Amino acid sequence: MASLKSGSLKARLKRALQSRPMLWDVYWRTKQELLRFGLLRYYLYDIKHTYQAMHWPTGHKARQTLSSALLFQYHKLEKGLVMPGKRRFFGADPADAAMKMMHRWQAVGYELDDPVYLGAIETLRGYRERLRENSLDPEDKVSSRLDHFLSRCNVAVAALSTPQKLAELQMTHSSAETAFRALVESRRSVRDYRPDPVPDAILREAVRMAQLSPSACNRQPWRVYLVSDDERKQQLLSYQNGNRGFGHLAPHIAIVTADEQSFFDASERHEPYIDGGLFSMSFILALSAQGVGSCCLNWCVPPAKDKAVHRLFDLPESQRIVMLIAIGYAPENCMVPRSPRRDTQAVLIPL
């Protein structure tokens, strides 16, 4: 009874304000500003995440941070090896840092056939060859340490040697352009799905292709958590507000995340979304190239829902959710929106 009276009183006050346009305008503007102010608590949630995860303590040994830091250091050498212009000495500090982290990797007992570790070996080899072939280190600032370290690395992986010629990776210009145009023009957001699941081999191949996406210093922070159980899918979709009417039809829902532990401090606070977004687009195109439909499901949710999904699927706190993706085969007569694009002149702006 008390709540009914309260509701009635609120309605009467609202009607009274609406009958006075100036007062109603002040009330409405004040209410909107208070709501905007209340949403600032979302930033506090982001600050907490950034403070806790985006930090590489001295001597860190956790696999995600150690592998990210190792990639970060030897990618500096990779970039130096492909720079145009006169050959010059560079890279002693990142080379030493990489070797130090590789010693730590060995001490912890991580696998020595991990691609990140093997890539570091091949990059150090390529760097050492550059110094030797061009006599760039006459003062022996780093060469002896490199020789000593590499003399104990008997593994050689030609597929990871660096640098390599771009021409060896490319299709002819005409075939690449034609294939890509066909792919992007045929891809559309699918909102109707057949019930049959997508084979695991196809999903894995899509991830493999998407892993070639660029990321900050090649740290590859992305993860894909695939939800295929009907009950768990519905639980997940209940926290997302853009899947009504079709989300339940998708045989798979992917949770795409980026691990904040891949980034060293708050100056990189936007990178989880940038790198995760680049990966997501590649993943969607890789699915489309194999005849699989998909639809991006935004993750614009309050902190409470984000926390709930982390708890539901036991996701580490450092895994920042970038988006959800509905995945499945489109039925034969599936309809999709035309979705007109802006005029190119409105997007490409010469400066």
Q: Report whether 223 contacts 260 (CB < 8 A).
A: no
Residue reference for tokens 């999903």: 203
Give the integer Cα–Cα distance in Å for 89 and 139: 11
User: What's the pLDDT at 5?
Assistant: 52
Query: Residue 263: which residues within 8 A CB-CB, separation 6 or more?
Result: 53, 54, 68, 216, 219, 221, 269, 271, 272
Residue 121: how many other CB atoms lie within 10 Å: 22
Q: What is d(CA 284, CA 325) in angstroms, rounded to the nearest whole number?
A: 8
HSE-up of residue 83 (Cα within 13 Å, Cβ side): 16
What pLDDT score does 4 carry?
44
All residues at 6 or more sequence positions from 66 whose CB lies less than 8 Å from its CB, including other chains: 60, 101, 104, 105, 108, 110
Q: Does domain 188-328 have CATH number 3.40.109.10?
A: yes
pLDDT (0 to 100) of residue 50:
92
This prediction has a pTM of: 0.87
Separation between Cα atoms, residue 47 and residue 41, nearest integer Å = 10
State the chain's maximal CA–CA distance in angstroms: 90
Residues 343 and 351: their CA atoms lie apart, in Å, by: 18
Tens place of pLDDT per residue across the chain (351 aa): 444 455 588 788 778 878 888 877 877 788 888 888 787 888 899 999 899 999 999 899 999 999 999 999 999 999 999 999 999 999 999 999 999 999 999 999 999 999 999 999 999 999 999 999 999 999 999 999 999 999 999 888 888 999 988 888 776 667 888 999 999 999 999 999 999 999 999 999 999 999 999 999 999 999 999 999 999 999 999 999 999 999 999 999 999 999 999 999 999 999 999 999 999 999 999 999 999 999 999 999 999 999 999 999 999 999 999 999 999 999 999 999 988 889 999 999 999
If residue 313 lies in a helix (H) or strand (E), which one and from where to where?
Answer: none
**What is the C-alpha to C-alpha distance for residues 253 and 259, in angstroms, rounded to an integer?**
19
Domain residue spans in the chain? Answer: 63-161, 188-328
108 and 66 Cβ atoms separated by less than 8 Å: yes
Rounded Cα distance between 117 and 101, Å, is 10
| H or E element at residue 223 | strand 222-227
With beta carbons less than 8 A apart as the criterion, state whether 149 and 128 touch.
no
HSE of 124, CA atoms in CB hemisphere, 13 A: 34
**What pLDDT was estimated at residue 1?**
46
d(CA 73, CA 127) in angstroms, rounded, equals 13
Separation of alpha carbons 70 and 108, rounded Å:
14
What is the pLDDT at residue 7? Answer: 59
Q: What are phi and psi of 213, to 5 degrees?
A: -65, 150
What is the predicted pLDDT for the residue at 6? 53
